[in-house]
Amino acid sequence: MSSPVIALITDRLRLATVLNTVDRCRTFDVVVEQVHAAARAGVHLVQVRERDLEGRELFDLAYRCVCAVRGTGARIIVNDRLDIAMAAGAHGVHLRETSVGAARVRSIAPRGFLVGRSVHDLNGARRAVAEGGVDYLVFGPVFATHSKPGQTEAGIDALREVADATAIPVLAVGGVTLDRVGPVMSVGAAGIAAIGLFACAPDALNDVVTTVRDGDSRFTIHDSPLC
């Protein structure tokens, strides 16, 4: 079994709550610090997913994140805003399942630009594959998650179906904990994408990444109602 692709998804409000940070300006700083540390720990992708931000604020945050990963192998992906991703010098864009077609993105974006798409079931995955132009899929929520309370979890068998149905790498998202990395990888996922896994261990990202990569389950993240 190959080492998993590791993707951090940002959520500045959740991270600020874990860190007990109430200053709104400081919430941008804690995200940039998290991204900087995660990149140096070995995270492959960082999806800047701050859907409540206006364009200018999102651009500023995305640009700071791009600067934060320089000199590492990490790549910044902006959630659903191709214009901001390109303006900020990000490495790619992550599309919602119902967003613009990947082929359209390919016609605009520079060479080497990554395009990901979220899918929530097998039919959505098949549509994304048929559409073409997508580098990876993010499937979920596989398990119940604080990020989408009340949304039905797809389950590990559905993840297996999606992974089996496409040669495009599939990342599992939703309720991914350290003890679930092995199971999602065993059914064909190429890796994991997560918010809480990283937000709940802001001072131990090296340990989290090492545990995900090497499967050493001795490390545990701190106990929080948000985790």
List the domain boundaries for the chain.
Answer: 5-214
pLDDT digits (tens, 9 = 90+) for 31-56: 999 999 999 999 999 999 999 999 99
Q: Which residue has the tokens 């068998």?
A: 157
CA end-to-end span of the chain:
27
**In this model, does residue 152 exceed pLDDT 60?**
yes
**What is the rounded distance in angstroms from the CA atom of residue 16 to the CA atom of residue 23?**
9
**What is the rounded distance in angstroms from the CA atom of residue 7 to the CA atom of residue 89?**
19
Kindly state the DSSP code that residue 110 receives in the 8-state scheme: P
> Tell me, what's the pLDDT at 218?
55
| For residues 108-120, average pLDDT | 96
| For residues 179-194, average pLDDT | 96
Residues facing 77 on adjacent strands: 47, 92
> Tell me, what's the pLDDT at 54?
96
CATH topology classification for 5-214? TIM Barrel (3.20.20)
Tell me the pLDDT of the chain averaged across its residues: 92
Counting Cβ atoms within 10 Å, is residue 86 exposed (0-12), middle (13-18) or buried (19+)? middle
> Tell me, what's the pLDDT at 225?
52
pTM for this entry: 0.93
**In this model, does residue 9 exceed pLDDT 70?**
yes
**In this model, does residue 153 exceed pLDDT 60?**
yes
pLDDT digits (tens, 9 = 90+) for 51-104: 999 999 999 999 999 999 999 999 999 999 999 999 999 999 999 999 999 999
Count of beta carbons in the 10 Å neighbourhood of residue 188: 18
Pick from 54, 55, 51, 61: which is nearest to 27 by CA? 61
> What percent of the chain is predicted at pLDDT more than 90?
81
**What is the rounded distance in angstroms from the CA atom of residue 54 to the CA atom of residue 220?**
36
pLDDT digits (tens, 9 = 90+) for 200-226: 998 899 999 999 998 765 555 554 555
